[in-house]
Structure 1
Amino acid sequence: MKFFIVLLFAVLGHSAWAADPVPRKEVIERVDRLMRSLPTLTGEARKQGISDLYEIARSKEPGVWDAVLYFGYNVAVSADGTRTLSPKPERNDVLSKAIPVLISAIDDAEGVNNKAWWILICLQTDCPAPKRAVWEVWWKEGSKRFAPTPAR
């Protein structure tokens, strides 16, 4: 239950969610590069990539933190400031490779302080506990929604 409270605080901690700007282009590009590189990184470089993504996801700077949240979506902002999200299937190829890497980086001892867990809960709508085994089960059941788009 504690992790749901932490997640709620994290989301609500970013004031005026609907009024925040859409992520800036340079931040979107940085998140894209980091997500694409995760499966190829090892050791300290992988830890650094996860830390970099975490810092973006936890940023309080408008137009930054939601770049991870919206990684798999196109975002349209209406005149009243509300956002409409539509899936971005071309990102599924990246997510289908990056999500297992993030799951493997969950350290149960870190609990809600685990950086990989924070990134995972930002990337999709579910919020399993910060335990690797729980996320492995989640991935077995939910990986189909991140299936890569077939080449045409």
Structure 2
Amino acid sequence: MDLLLRSLQTLTGEERKEAVSDLYDLETKEPGGGDAVLDFGYNVTPNADGTRTMTPLPDRNKVLRKLIPVLVAEIDDSEGIKNKAWWILIGLQTECPPPKREVWEKWWKDSGSKKFAPVSAR
């Protein structure tokens, strides 16, 4: 999952569409696939009480800042909720705009890009 997500930003054309389809299949058809997308970029530690502690990895925002616009560009409005890139986007972050490219582009411009801004070292 990690390798596919990271490689997606460098692919173009049919290779990109194929990678989105592969990611969608992993997310929806493989046991734990949805969690793998949701947990991308985090070090997940199970706690004794059954909860999990999620600590962002240092390059998480850097990768997602490049990856999310790529996925937004793959939204085809005519596919509606069948659009695979849309489902992956929902899994990668907590917001759920409708499967319309223009809406996601606005979300990215207005708030998404700020949400995934680089984390400054202190």
Q: TM-score, normalised by structure 1?
A: 0.72
What SS does the aligned partner of 1:52 have? helix
Number of residue equivalences: 121
Q: Which moved more, 1:67-76 or 1:104-113?
A: 67-76
Deviations 1:111-143 (A, max 9, x none): 111000000000000000010000001101221
Correspondences of 1:31-110 after superposition (within 5 Å): 31-61=1-31, 63-110=32-79
In structure 2, which of residues 102, 106, 114 is the aligned counterpart of residue 137 of structure 1? 106
> Of the candidates 66, 91, 94, which is equivalent to residue 125 of structure 1?
94
The alpha carbon displacement at 1:72 in A equals 2.7
Measure how far apart 1:151 and its partner are.
7.5
2:86 counterpart of 1:112: no
How big is each residue's C-alpha offset from its partner over 1:51-99, in whole Å with a ceiling of 9 and x where there is no partner? 11111111251x3331111103222212232223233341111111110
SS of 2:63 mapped into structure 1: helix
CA contact (8 A) 2:76 2:101 kept: yes
Q: Which moved more, 1:138-147 or 1:109-118?
A: 138-147
**What is the identity, as a one-letter code, of the residue corresponding to 2:3?**
R
After TM superposition, what 4+ stretches of structure 1 lie above 6 angstroms from structure 2? none
The RMSD of aligned alpha carbons is 1.8
Distance in 2, matches of 1:68 and 1:60, equals: 11
Identity in percent: 64
Helix, strand or coil at the partner of 1:65 = helix
TM-score by length of 2: 0.88
3-state SS of 2:9 partner: helix
2: distance between equivalents of 1:105 and 1:84? Answer: 32
